[in-house]
Structure formats: structure tokens, C-alpha cells
Amino acid sequence: MTRVAVIDYGMGNRRSVEKALEHVGAEVKITAEHEDLGNADGLVLPGVGAFPKAMGNLDTLGLPELIRDLVEKDRPLLGICLGMQLLFDTSEEMGGAAGLGLIGGEVTRLAAGAHRVPHIGWNEVRFELASPLTAELPHPGSPFYHVHSYAARPRDPGHVIGTTEYGERFATIVGRGSVFGVQFHPEKSSRHGLGMLRSFVALCAGGAAGSSRVAA
């Protein structure tokens, strides 16, 4: 069975993610132990809350360098919600902080216009590039459940897999090599979210989905 580690750094709905991954066939462990993370076939970085606090928690546990090392070894990583934002270089939230630097770009306040922030609800996500995460989903897009006030701004358009619109059109699925991020909550997004997680687990297992990874 494919082993997926949900990174436990004190922020995020870890149990919901665990149950969803188990539902699609993964053996899941919620952990911050370096050995457990190193032995997993794939990693999920969930997150709810503020970017600077999240990075502070990761630093305290000595996790940023470990995560970068595992990514260098082509270990699949999926960031969810705040976890996606942490993949980027920096965020302006609460005065600003450096991120993991796995995908070039920054995180800034969502330009929602007349819409209420935080953005909470279902939005149709338009698939912009082919990706193993979306290979089994209806095209050209599918609905997913979002809860956020900030949006990631990838420096390279080639890292934008999917977009949605809420006052502005912004990146909501990103990928570079074995690193992926989704701004929405797949574990709360019904069959389409479960389908995406199933594809990620297949990628971790080195299955057919892994043959179409986004280029670095």
C-alpha cells in the first residue's frame, strides 16, 4: 500500500485530509518525525491559518530543509490551502515572511474587488495545463471548495495548472516537478476532490499518473 505522510506542524485540518487519503487507498500517517517523512512515498502539507506562524512552526521542527531534500529526491509533495502558499518564496501576510521556495513567486492579498474576503465557497476551476492531478477529472474544469484571503502569484506561467475567478482570476492549482499545490480543499470537495487525491496517491506509488509530471 502507498504510504503518504501528512506533515504535522500544528496547523491545518489534518484528520480530514487523513480520512480522505485513506478513502482513496493510501496508508496514512500524521507525523512530524523526520524518519517517518523520509520513509513515506509521498508528502501532504495541509494548512489553515497565517503564513508567518506556519513557517515558524515548520522551522521549530526542523522541517523546511528536510522537505526541500525530499523534493530534490523527487518525492511527490502536495500543499493544500495554506500549504500551497508555503511552497512559494514569500508572503506579504502579517508583515511578510519567507516560504519554502519550492515554486518561484509570492503570495499577496486576493484582489476580490466587490466580493467579500475571505473567499469561501465552491468555484469552478479551469484546467490550464495537463497534469497528473487532473488527468481523471472532467475537462475543461471541475468545482472545488475554497477558503482563503490570499492568492499565490507564480513567477512562471508554466507552473499554473489551474485557475479560478473571484474578483480576479488567480492560480489555484500549481506544479513544478514533483511539487504540487492546490488553494482549495480537495478533502472537502466531494468526488472531484477525492479523484484528485486518488491521482496524487497513484503518483506517489509511481503509477501511470506519474508519467505526466509537470516539467521543472
- The residue with greater pLDDT, 136 or 66, is 66
Per-residue model confidence as pLDDT tens digits over 8-20: 999 878 899 999 9
Helix 14-23 vs helix 190-204: angle between axes, to the nearest 10 degrees?
Answer: 80
pLDDT score at 195 = 97
Enumerate the domain spans of the chain.
3-212
What pTM was computed for the model? 0.94
Q: How confident is the model at residue 66 (pLDDT cuts 50, 70, 90)?
A: very high
Q: What is the mean pLDDT of residues 46-73?
A: 97
> In three state form, how does the secondary structure of the chain look?
CCEEEEECCCCCCHHHHHHHHHHCCCEEEEECCHHHHHHCCEEEECCCCCHHHHHHHHHHCCHHHHHHHHHHCCCCEEEECHHHHCCEEEECHHHCEECCCCEEEEEEECCCCCCCCCEEEEEEEEECCCCCCCCCCCCCEEEEEEEECEEEEECCHHHEEEEEECCCEEEEEEEEECEEEECCCHHHCHHHHHHHHHHHHHHHCCCHHHHHCECC
Active-site residue (options: 146, 159, 185, 192):
185
CA–CA distances in Å: residue 168 to residues 10, 60, 122, 160, 171: 31, 35, 15, 15, 10
pLDDT-based confidence at 164, cuts 50/70/90? Answer: very high
pLDDT tens-digit map of 93-121 = 999 999 999 999 999 999 999 999 999 99
204 counts as catalytic: no
Confidence class for position 211, pLDDT limits 50, 70, 90: very low
**Topology (CATH) of 3-212:** Rossmann fold (3.40.50)
pLDDT at residue 213 greater than cutoff 50: no
**What is the structure's pLDDT at 207?**
46
Which of 81, 146, 148, 204 is catalytic? The answer is 81
| Catalytic residue chosen out of the listed positions 106, 146, 187, 204 | 187
Cα 30 from chain centre: 16
Examine the residue annotation and report whether 146 is marked as an active-site residue of this protein: no
Is residue 72 part of the annotated active site? The answer reads no
Model confidence at 147: pLDDT above 90: yes
Mean pLDDT of the chain: 94
Rounded distance between C-alpha atoms, residue 44 and residue 46, angstroms: 6
Q: Does pLDDT of 165 surpass 70?
A: yes
pLDDT score recorded for residue 13: 81
